[in-house]
Homo-oligomer: A and B are copies of this chain.
Amino acid sequence: MNGAESLVKTLLANGVDTCFANPGTSEMHFVAALDSHPDMRCVLCLFEGGASGAAEGYFRMKQDVAATMFHLAPGFGNAYANLHNARKGGSGIVNIMGDHATRHMKYDSPLRGDTIGISQSVSHWTRSSGDARSVARDGAEAIRAARSRGGQIATLILPADTAWEEGAAPIEALPPSPRRLPGPEEISHAATLLREPGSVLLIDQEAAFGPGLEQAAAIAAATGARLMSPLFLPRLARGAGYAQVQQLPYPVDMCLEALAGTNNIVLMGAKRPVNFFAYPGKPSTPEPVGCQVFDLCAPDMDVLGTLDALSKATGAAGASFPVNALNLPELPTGPLTLEGVGQALAHLLPENAIVGNESVTAGTSLLPPLVNARPHDLLITTGGAIGDGLPLVTGAAIACPDRQVVSLTGDGSAMYTIQSLWTMARERLNIVVVVIANRGYKILRGEMAALGVEDYGRNAQAMFDIENPDLDWCALAKGHGVPSARATTNEEAVVALREGLATDGPFLVEVVV
């Protein structure tokens, strides 16, 4: 078997059976190897950012890695933004990037690029296979790296000759390196801090969904600490029956206010809180001066193990904690409002749905009613690089074929990776895409206002507004093979959402605000 086939067999032998792909001409041997292994599910994306974002969404729901396949340097460049998001959210991905045959690399051929350089600028682990017999081992090490520390970006570069020459037998990957646990003194210190007044347990990663969230909520209840999370986290169990979690807000002043009076913050799978951006005259971090931030368990550590230990130290087992009530709003009527769309969605959302959010400014109005909707998982863009909304839910839907998926997206953000609509149609994914068509980058207007500039001239307006012409979202959906409806009133939003949820396969709702 050649090197490419040894890699495909190694991926499959280690349980990596899904590949989000946008191959180029240098990856043909790998394509041929995939082709002879129909147990590998290959999902074509028409833009590489759709593939990297889908692998990210897949990880968030499966808590395990998928593979991607990208063309040498520029193809990886197109994947970069959502690899950045995945890195920030702690999602593991095994990237396979093609490259020129080693003997061809000394020439300045059109596609020769700095494959290692661009990979290293976003990947935790990068290797370019040196020869075909190393490919299986390199693949196994890439899988191990991607599964280590809770999820990492691992990129294996496959020069064409290492794919076409004779390879070695497939190799079983070593188990990921064990995730670090805090020591007993740290656990005990955290327990002491949490019992003090004005304490916050800040959760992320596995502490924000599943049994981890229950344990975290019990610990908070037992110690009297507030249970909070960052705003941008990979997955949050939300809706009726799940623990009440307060997310930190985006605007710096609101974030400072949310943490006012806090004396201790204990990090549980969360990074140290930091404001999204710095502003003149405002601090970079949101906690009050003098507040102690105790880094008990970083995102790459053993979050569930730490929760176990802290639960014992605080006697939290069995402690009851406040959960979100089921409180479905009335179906909205009248002129279209974002609040109305949020109510309609909260009313209609089926149990166990997956909701992806990249609606940016509109999310402030759309998301609150969902707290009391039927239980669901909320997925949010973690690295601030918009263009993750559609890809993320594509991967989530492939990971969870039995669950309804809903994507809330702004028009500006959806345009970066609009090609994902086609993959949704091709794979018949059960996704309702709700596009909030506010005809602009509303977040930029907000940031400009934060600088005190309220009147714009021609250039700022040209860069903030997506109009003249307006995008026609129903036409865009049709172009990608996705049915759609346009909502210009709250009643129409209800009808469109109902139709979308009843449709097998994807459906797009254009909300004209």
Q: Give residues in A with beta carbon < 8 Å to B.
A: 21, 23-26, 28-29, 31-32, 34-38, 40, 42-44, 46-47, 49, 71, 73-75, 77-78, 80-85, 88, 100-101, 103-104, 107-111, 113-114, 117-118, 120-122, 160-161, 164, 232, 271-272, 274-278, 280, 284-285, 382-385, 387, 412, 415-416, 418-419, 422, 425-426, 443-444, 447-448, 450-451, 453, 456-460, 462-463, 466, 468-481
Contacts and interface: CB of A to CB of B under 8 A. Distances in A.
Nearest to A82: B74
A83 B107 CA distance: 19
A278 B101 contact: yes
Nearest to A34: B459
B472 A276 contact: no
A472 B462 contact: no
Contact of A80 (B80, B104, B469): B80
A121 B111 contact: no
Sort A-B residue pairs by CB-CB distance and give the 10 closest, nearest first: A469-B481, A77-B80, A476-B479, A74-B385, A117-B121, A74-B81, A104-B278, A475-B479, A101-B278, A111-B384
A460 B32 contact: yes
A44 B276 contact: no
A49 B280 CA distance: 31
Contacts of A81: 74-75, 77-78
A113 B118 contact: no
A471 B481 contact: yes
Contact of A84 (B74, B88, B477): B74
Nearest to A23: B463
A419 to B, nearest CB: 5
Given A416-B47, A471-B479, A110 B25 contact: no
Contact of A32 (B113, B277, B384, B453): B453
Contacts of A37: 459
A47 to B, nearest CB: 6
Given A118-B122, A122-B118, A31 B278 contact: no
A402 B93 CA distance: 48
Nearest to A387: B78
Contacts of A274: 104, 107-109
B80 A28 contact: no
B78 A73 contact: no
Contacts of A447: 25, 28
Nearest to A472: B479
A114 B121 contact: yes
B80 A85 contact: no
Contacts of A71: 385
A323 to B, nearest CB: 28
B469 A426 contact: yes
16 contacts: A25-B443, A26-B277, A32-B453, A43-B462, A44-B462, A73-B80, A80-B118, A101-B284, A104-B275, A111-B385, A114-B122, A161-B280, A164-B280, A470-B481, A472-B481, A475-B475
Nearest to A118: B121
A473 to B, nearest CB: 7
B36 A457 contact: yes
Contact of A78 (B31, B78, B122, B276): B78
Contacts of A49: 78
Contacts of A164: 280
Contacts of A384: 74, 109-111
A164 B448 CA distance: 12
Given A46-B415, A107-B274, A456-B35, A117 B120 contact: yes
A185 B23 CA distance: 47
A109 B457 CA distance: 31
B75 A78 contact: no
A278 to B, nearest CB: 4
B40 A469 contact: no
Contacts of A471: 422, 479-481
A71 B80 CA distance: 13
A440 to B, nearest CB: 10
A82 B272 CA distance: 36
A380 to B, nearest CB: 10
B32 A451 contact: yes
